[in-house]
């Protein structure tokens, strides 16, 4: 993995858990739009290739053809990506067309994936149950989507921008909240905070005015679930059980964490790769955002309810009008751009309207997609991340392949001729961008100032944009004023100005945008400063270490020698402190690179707080370095000594800069 992908993975880690843009309805990856996801293995490439070419005419969507196609695709994807298992279910015309398991729920025991019995985690697809519960209470007149959520809470969400946050904002991921990582994932069932405690103790800072800028938010979804709990006067898990799960006959589904004992034996293990040991059971603290555990068979009941106006047999979870309202857009979007539909992602795929959601934990990866007009739904879950994040390529290929086989485009897209304005407009959109879904107020913001998305202008008037799964950038052509479409495809980008910020809107992702990066947050600037600072400080320490073997300094008056030694010692001591300071921060940041998100809990507060206070010593070290170099410059000694003194002082200042810009010197335990 190269340096760029290391930073990509690190930035991704803060956003990956419960992430969710669906493969069909959004990015198809767990990586946020700020970064390119780590590339999938070459061995998995044929999976994507097999699904890439649209069929000239649709295959019949019947059990025989579907099973034959899945049997050829899924087992190969599991082998190529080193993934343990998957379950798939497809519904059509009010009934289950096919449900099937592939691979293993427990590799060591050779326990097969069973669509009826094997329980899998669905991550952010759990949000659809939360939003369904919200709509049930809206239907009963107990909730208003456009009312200030503070009217429903027993604590206050501040109106930093003079606008209240509404339930509609939460459904559209436009609450304005900054991303957060602390305490969202636990693996030890002891001491896990309640949703209420998490929401009150970890209030997310507001980056944007409510309703203005999309920024995917698990905190916002958890707020909605807590509101359901307060208004219904039932615990969130019991509300879902009584009003959705039991009526639909979803008897192998639970939102309890850890799972009730009766389900323990049915739960699939979760894997990084099939060739590695399984990981621990993941406890999602933002429960309404991602705590669901279910079977493929049970999810088919939920799919059928949403495809049949809220009904399955005699069971009703929503009235027909409410269901139609829920599936309709809950925000405006340009033509051809995906939008939110009361918690669903809604887009046009191969000319068909698709609504759905995706969900990711560290180990499990789910896709839930409905074609309402066709009465068809597909859901699949992988229980492994796979070699080099292979699951994301397999996940995208599976849904795209399903659509291209059974609901293909009637005609291949045709690239229009270049616009006369293309060359000039390419220069306007070119630049460095960061995702609206980010962390700015904690030490994890360091990752976001070290790597960003770069859109480049090409000589032919096209633009190059980093791809989700490809090492090579994707090419987009201008098809209208500052409206760009992928060459040979249908995905679009649009350049806008939102709240005075140059903003790129991705037609496939309604939950985040790319915002132009101000100079102080530029990854070029900050990566250069960090690299040079580290090199300078390490060189200073190496010179100190090897000084006994280096010829002694000459031409220093005897009476000045003790003072020169003291000043150089101060510079070297300051450099030693800063190197130790950076190493300590690296040890805190390193688990993010491995997606060990349970590391970031309140138990880490004393260490983080100590390092943040140590930032004051880093500032003092820089002041000391500048003073020492200045003193050296006033002495009658060889000029190279003050010169290297100022070089060391520059390195010390670089650490202070990174500390402030990267959030290391922030004095906040909310990250």
Q: Which of 671, 475, 614, 511 is nearest to 28 (CA)?
A: 511
Q: Which two tokens stand for residue 208?
A: 């944007």
Name the CA radius of gyration of the chain, rounded: 27
Q: Which of 344, 357, 382 is nearest to 120 (CA)?
A: 382
Residues sharing a CB contact under 8 Å with residue 272, sequence separation 6 or more, in sequence order: 279, 362, 363, 384, 385
By DSSP bridging, strand 501-506 and strand 492-498 are: antiparallel
Which pLDDT value is given to residue 104? Answer: 98
Q: Residue 30: pLDDT above 80?
A: no
Q: Residue 43: pLDDT above 80?
A: no
Which pLDDT value is given to residue 469? Answer: 72
Q: Are 517 and 452 in contact (CB under 8 A)?
A: yes
What's the average model confidence in pLDDT over 587-607? Answer: 94
Tell me how far apart the alpha carbons of residues 91 and 304 are, in angstroms, rounded to a whole number. Answer: 7
Q: pLDDT tens-digit profile of 225-250?
A: 999 999 999 999 999 999 999 999 99
Q: Burial-class residue 69 by CB neighbours within 10 Å (0-12, 13-18, 19+).
A: middle
Does an H or E element contain 112, and which?
strand 111-112
Q: Residue 199: pLDDT above 60?
A: yes
What's the average model confidence in pLDDT over 11-38? Answer: 38
Q: pLDDT tens-digit profile of 612-632?
A: 999 999 999 999 999 999 999
Q: pLDDT tens-digit profile of 521-540?
A: 999 999 999 999 999 999 99
Which pLDDT value is given to residue 46? Answer: 32
Residue 668: how many other CB atoms lie within 10 Å: 13
Q: Residue 5: pLDDT above 50?
A: no
Q: Which of 522, 452, 462 is nearest to 487 (CA)?
A: 462
Which pLDDT value is given to residue 55? Answer: 47
Which pLDDT value is given to residue 19? Answer: 52
Distances (CA, A) of 89 to 101, 102, 112, 164, 310: 9, 12, 16, 40, 19
Which pLDDT value is given to residue 44? Answer: 33
Q: pLDDT tens-digit profile of 455-472?
A: 999 999 999 999 877 788
Which pLDDT value is given to residue 148? Answer: 97
Tell me how far apart the alpha carbons of residues 300 and 307 are, in angstroms, rounded to a whole number. Answer: 10
Tell me how far apart the alpha carbons of residues 517 and 523 are, in angstroms, rounded to a whole number. Answer: 9
Q: pLDDT tens-digit profile of 113-125?
A: 999 999 999 999 9
Tell me how far apart the alpha carbons of residues 47 and 64 are, in angstroms, rounded to a whole number. Answer: 21
E strands in 138-253: 185-186
Preceding peptide of 258 cis, ω within 30° = yes
Tell me how far apart the alpha carbons of residues 614 and 549 are, in angstroms, rounded to a whole number. Answer: 33
Q: Are 648 and 655 in contact (CB under 8 A)?
A: no
End-to-end CA distance of the chain: 27
Q: Are 582 and 440 in contact (CB under 8 A)?
A: no
Distances (CA, A) of 162 to 134, 158, 165: 25, 9, 10
Q: Residue 106: pLDDT above 90?
A: yes
Q: Are 89 and 238 in contact (CB under 8 A)?
A: no
Q: Residue 88: pLDDT above 90?
A: yes
| Local confidence band at 560 (pLDDT 50, 70, 90 cut-offs) | confident
Highest-confidence range of 346-355, 461-470, 556-565, by mean pLDDT?
346-355
Mean pLDDT rounded to a whole number for the chain: 90
| Local confidence band at 554 (pLDDT 50, 70, 90 cut-offs) | low
Q: Are 511 and 214 in contact (CB under 8 A)?
A: yes
Percent of the chain having pLDDT more than 90? Answer: 81
Which pLDDT value is given to residue 56? Answer: 63
């Amino acid at each position: 993995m190269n340096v760029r992908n290391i930073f990509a993975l690190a930035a991704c880690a803060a956003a990956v858990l419960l992430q969710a843009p669906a493969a069909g309805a959004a990015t198809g990856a767990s990586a946020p739009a700020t970064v390119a996801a780590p590339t999938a293995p070459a061995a998995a490439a044929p999976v994507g290739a097999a699904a890439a070419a649209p069929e000239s005419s649709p295959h019949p969507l019947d059990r025989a053809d579907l099973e034959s196609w899945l049997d050829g695709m899924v087992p190969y994807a599991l082998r190529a990506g080193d993934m343990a298992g998957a379950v798939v279910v497809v519904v059509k015309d009010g009934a289950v067309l096919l449900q099937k398991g592939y691979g293993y729920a427990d590799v060591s025991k050779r326990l097969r994936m069973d669509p009826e019995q094997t329980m899998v985690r669905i991550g952010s697809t759990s949000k659809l149950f939360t939003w369904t519960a919200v709509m049930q209470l809206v239907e009963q007149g107990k909730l208003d989507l456009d009312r200030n959520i503070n009217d429903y809470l027993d604590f206050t969400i501040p109106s930093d921008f003079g606008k209240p946050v509404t339930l509609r904002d939460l459904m559209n991921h436009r609450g304005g909240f900054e991303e957060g990582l602390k305490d969202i994932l636990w693996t030890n069932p002891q001491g896990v905070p309640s949703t209420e405690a998490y929401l009150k103790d970890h209030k997310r800072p507001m980056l944007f005015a409510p309703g203005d800028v999309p920024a995917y938010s698990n905190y916002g979804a958890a707020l909605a679930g807590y509101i359901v709990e307060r208004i219904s006067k039932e615990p969130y898990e019991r509300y879902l059980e009584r009003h959705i799960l039991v009526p639909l006959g979803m008897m192998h589904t639970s939102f309890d964490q850890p799972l009730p004992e009766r389900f323990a034996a049915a739960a699939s293990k979760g894997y990084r790769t099939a060739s590695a040991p399984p990981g621990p059971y993941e406890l999602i603290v933002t429960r309404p955002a991602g705590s669901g555990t279910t079977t493929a068979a049970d999810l088919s009941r939920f799919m059928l309810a949403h495809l049949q106006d809220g009904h399955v047999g005699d069971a009703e979870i929503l009235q027909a009008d409410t269901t139609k309202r829920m599936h309709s857009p809950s925000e405006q979007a340009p033509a051809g751009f995906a939008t939110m539909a009361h918690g669903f992602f809604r887009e046009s795929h191969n000319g068909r309207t698709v609504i759905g959601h995706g969900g990711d934990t560290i180990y499990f990866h789910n896709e839930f997609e409905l074609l309402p007009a066709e009465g068809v739904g597909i859901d699949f879950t992988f229980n492994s991340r796979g070699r080099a994040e292979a699951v994301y390529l397999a996940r995208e290929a599976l849904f795209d392949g399903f659509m291209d086989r059974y609901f293909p485009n009637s005609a291949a897209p045709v690239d229009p001729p270049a616009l006369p304005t293309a060359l000039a407009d390419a220069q306007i959109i070119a630049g460095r961008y960061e995702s609206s879904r980010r962390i700015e107020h904690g030490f994890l913001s360091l990752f976001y100032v070290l790597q960003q998305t770069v859109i480049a202008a090409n000589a032919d008037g096209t633009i190059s944009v980093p791809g989700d799964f490809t090492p090579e950038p994707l090419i987009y052509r201008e098809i209208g004023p500052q409206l760009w479409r992928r060459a040979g495809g249908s995905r679009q980008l649009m350049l806008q100005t939102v709240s005075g910020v140059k903003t790129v809107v991705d037609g496939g992702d309604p939950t985040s945008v790319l915002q132009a990066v101000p100079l102080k947050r530029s990854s070029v600037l900050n990566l250069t400063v960090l690299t040079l600072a580290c090199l300078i400080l390490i060189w200073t320490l190496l010179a100190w270490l090897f000084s006994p073997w280096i010829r002694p300094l000459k031409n220093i008056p005897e009476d000045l020698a003790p003072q020169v030694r003291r000043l150089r010692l101060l510079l070297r001591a300051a450099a030693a402190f800063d190197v130790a300071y950076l190493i300590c921060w690296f040890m805190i940041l390193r688990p993010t690179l491995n997606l060990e998100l349970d590391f970031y809990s309140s138990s880490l507060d004393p260490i983080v707080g100590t390092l943040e206070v140590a930032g004051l010593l880093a500032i003092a070290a820089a002041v000391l370095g500048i003073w020492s170099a200045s003193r050296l410059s006033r002495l009658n000694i060889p000029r190279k000594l003050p010169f290297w003194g100022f070089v060391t002082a520059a390195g010390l200042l670089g650490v202070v800069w990174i500390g402030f810009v990267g959030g290391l010197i922030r004095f906040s335990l909310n990250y």
